[in-house]
Structure 1
Amino acid sequence: MRTGILRAVAAAVVACSALVTTSCAGDTADAAGVALGTPQSDFYAPPAEAVPGRHGSVIRTRALTGVPTVRGASNHLVLYRSVDARNTPVAVSGTLAVPAGAPPEGGWPLVVWGPGTSGVADDCAPSRTGGSSPSADDQARWVAAGYAVAKTDYQGLGTPGPHGYLIGDTEQRAMADLATAAREVDASVGTRWVAMGHSQGGHAALFAAGAAAAWTPESPLLGAVALAPVSHIGEQVRMAKWTVGNPLGKLGAGDIGSFVPLLVRGAQTVTELDPGRFLTGRAVELLPSADTECAAALRDSSRWGGLSPREVFTSDGDLSELLRVLDDNDPSGVRFTVPVLVLQGRDDLTVPLTSTDAMVAEQQLRGQTVDYRKFDDTDHSAIIGASFTDALGWVDTRFGITR
């Protein structure tokens, strides 16, 4: 009964919100440096026999050079093992920045970042493009504060296989397995870590707070920091679908069009979803563009960004299976096993304050403790810089660091 009430309240609160804009013989360390942004198909696509093995172990690694590597650190491109939603071993890529100098006792404390939305096509992987929040400058602030920083590309983003966009369990596995792999890449990295992410990455960090401790017990998770985390996507899709058959359709529809293909591709990693059951012919025709183009291109007016909800969803379409997946992956219902900090800008139009307010309220009504901090005059992108001091103090406390 309480769950039903909470979901009804959340639907009312977020109805007008916008969607996110945002062990094998092959184990080797390749000494050749590679510039970030350079296509490295051979690196990202290992031989099939190299992929099975202990999740969190390293397949291979290379030194990273050039811009935008993280200043003040040694930079590594990492290919490591994880397990997808269908329990199949997969290779995942990411980066690792380790501070210069001697590490503290116990090794460098580690922050594992979940990046914001970049797309689902392999070319959109942050380690290939250097893009997607957090930036190299954002990471450099943590390195300067004495933290090693790892940033995952998530499963299937850059590497073979589909990317489970906003599928919480595979996101958190990618983060937790990178925390374990980081120590194999550089022995000066400690075992303890904090999950941190922005937008899609905030969503991932919240799922890590619920499951990572059990997934990688050899790598103790101390807490999770979620900046402008995505939530209530199911409610936003319901509202967009409602507008299709309503004369007031443009009211409260939200900027959903360009994210529908990402949501569909994500859902297809966990269920046999037929988009022809609810998408218009035009939308079905455009769907493959998600497999080759990144989020910015999909938002173009000639692509998904130019479609209204009526041009995306059919009036009699069956959205039930997609909505089931989206609801199952709403972080509002995650049971946390570690402390959580949520940071939100009041002027965020991408992941609006009302959405995060509703998410935290649901978590607190379930008896969970969430440290929730809001920032004035701060939008979606600015929250990373605006909240740095708060985030650093909170993370320092988790590691027992005093300054």
Structure 2
Amino acid sequence: MTRTRATGAAPARRLGSLAVALTVLALVAPAAASAAPGPAGAPGAVVSVGSLPADAQLVGARDSQLLSYWTEGPTGAPAVSSGAVYLPDGPAPTGGWPVVSWAHGTTGVADACAPSRGEISDFAQAYLGTWLAKGFAVVASDFVGLGTDGTHAYLHGRSEGRAVIDMVRAARAVTPELSPTWVAVGHSQGGHAAMFAAHEATRYAPELDYRGAVATGTPANLEELFPLGGPGFPDLGLDGLPAFAAYVVDGLRVARPDLRVDDYLTPVGAELVGKSEQLCFTELLAAAGDVGVGEMLSRPLSDDAFRTAVRDYLAVPTTGYDRPVFVGHGVQDTTVPYPLGAKLAADLALNGQDVTFRTYPGPHRASALESLPDVTAFARALI
């Protein structure tokens, strides 16, 4: 069954921004020490368990812990991710707490940017605290390379999605109060990861009871936009575009060393991409200053090799989902423009997927908070 619902500003006004969005390129858009594990274990196998630093604690959680676990890296080889487990207050219900596997938004790619290693944001406190209050345990992957060995491949869909799934496996191995019943939830970069987790959750982890996914502010359809980039690409006024582009290019370096990504960069672009490996998001924004995407690129990104690499790296699937998906987006989003989310929902619906689509009046992060009554009710109905 396909369900599509939309609320918010008039479609005509939103469609007016589609032309702009379709010319955008490159948007998207103290913890335990890094693990040094022995031979690779099975996906979800726990490597270490420890305590979260005080700044990474979630208000309203009765108990929390930090763990690291085996999953898959961006080249397809086994790799280690870390993450946090948060339990609601009170005794667990019969069968255990249902689980939200949370996929976080952009923080950066350096180890210091891992959510479990530093101060949890006010947004995450409010957003995840609501899920706890609704009776869900929250497990939150950092993703491969954030706080663990290697470099995080930003927006590499397959590895991020599998880290979200394997986080549930790992958390259940060390937390008996958790039910096998779970949903994937993510915003921004995390919305992208949640969609990839949703696409293969039942096939990849059949021993779990996956019910559905929530993805808001999702940077979809970027594989159609990247090939539009090149020298002189105009400044479209999108929030953080050069920083997001630097993270994606750095991720391609990690996942596709055969592509010779550096050949597409000017010295200015190469310098910013280099800085992206050391600086978290707000710091990289400051370092980027007034640099535009057009100044970062030495040649067009429209050749077949780059097109194919980008599609394989980050294209969100629009078929093959066997559980319901909730897609939400803010009409004032200037980080991941609304038409990208609208097109994702439309493609899912046209392909017969069970999708619920809602719009919200606010910008990027605010729209995720605005969605909470809808998304928590959606998840509760699935469970």
TM-score computed with the length of structure 2 as normaliser: 0.87
Cross-structure match for 1:325: 309
| Distance in structure 2 (CA, Å) of the matches to 1:72 and 1:66 | 13
AA matched with 1:262: Y
CA contact (8 A) 2:56 2:115 kept: no
The structure 1 residue matched to 2:109, chosen from 108, 120, 124, is: 120
1:311 to partner: Cα distance: 1.2
- 1:72 corresponds in structure 2 to 60
Tell me how far apart the structure 1 counterparts of residues 273 and 192 of structure 2 sit (CA, whole Å): 24
- Given that residues 245 and 293 in structure 2 are in contact (C-alpha distance below 8 angstroms), is that contact kept between their aligned partners in structure 1? no
Match of 1:52 in 2: 40
1:331-373 Cα offsets, whole Å, 9 max, x none, are 1535212110011111111111111111212222222231001
Q: Which residue of 2 aligns with 1:28?
A: none
| Alignment-derived partner of residue 299 in structure 1 | 285
Report the RMSD for the aligned CA atoms in angstroms: 2.4
1:189-204 aligned at under 5 Å gives the runs: 189-204=178-193
| Residue of structure 2 equivalent to 1:372 | 357
CA distance in 2, matches of 1:176, 1:134: 23
Mapping for residues 2-401 of structure 1, pairs under 5 Å? 12=19, 14-17=21-24, 20=27, 38=30, 40=31, 43-49=32-38, 52-64=40-52, 66-73=54-61, 74-131=63-120, 135-241=124-230, 244=231, 249-250=233-234, 252=236, 254=238, 256-271=241-256, 272-300=258-286, 303-315=287-299, 320-328=304-312, 329-376=314-361, 378-399=362-383
Partner amino acid, structure 1, of 2:310: L
**What secondary structure, in the 3-state scheme, does the structure 2 residue paired with 1:331 have?**
coil
Label 1:336 to 1:44 Cα distance change in 2 as closer, same or farther (>3 A): farther
Match of 2:8 in 1: none
Name the CA distance, whole Å, in 2 between partners of 1:313 and 1:360. 31
Q: 1:149 to 1:134 in 2, by over 3 A?
A: farther
Distance 1:253 1:375 in 2: 21
For residue 17 of structure 1, report the CA deviation from its aligned partner: 4.8
The aligned counterpart of 1:6 is: none
Distance in 1 between the 2:303 and 2:278 partners? 25
User: How far apart, CA to CA, are the structure 2 residues paired with 1:381 and 1:197?
Assistant: 12
Q: Which runs of 5+ in 2 are unaligned?
A: 1-16
**Partner AA of 2:93 in structure 1:** P
- Aligned-pair distance for 1:72? 2.5
How far off its partner does 1:316 sit? 5.5
Give distance in 1, aligned partners of 2:284 and 2:304.
24
Stretch of structure 1 that moved more, 53-62 or 222-231: 53-62
1:110 and 1:194 in contact (8 A); partners too? yes
Q: Deviation string for 1:266-292 (max 9, x for gaps)?
A: 223332231232111221233221111
Partner SS for 1:112: strand
State the distance in 2 between where 1:172 and 1:394 align: 21
Distance 2:339 2:35 in 1: 43
Structure with the greater relative contact order (CA < 8 A, sep ≥ 6): 1 or 2?
2
CA distance in 1, matches of 2:260, 2:99: 40
For structure 1, which segment, 117-126 or 11-20, has the greater mean C-alpha deviation from structure 2 after superposition? Answer: 11-20
Q: Return the TM-score normalized by structure 1.
A: 0.83
For residues 154 and 257 of structure 1, do their structure 2 counterparts lie closer, same or farther at Cα, with a shift above 3 Å needed? same
Quote the offset at 1:86 in angstroms: 2.9
Aligned to 2:323, the other structure's residue is in SS state: coil
- What are the superposed Cα offsets for residues 217-258 of structure 1, whole Å, 9 maximum, x if unpaired? 1122110000111112233323332xx36xxx5364855322
In the alignment, the residues of structure 2 paired with residue 237 and residue 304 of structure 1 have an alpha-carbon distance, to the nearest angstrom, of 19
| Superposed displacement of residue 15, structure 1 | 2.0
Query: 1:317, CA displacement in angstroms?
Result: 6.3
- The answer to whether the 8 A contact 1:81-1:91 is kept is yes
Secondary structure class of the residue paired with 1:268: helix
Residue identity (%): 31
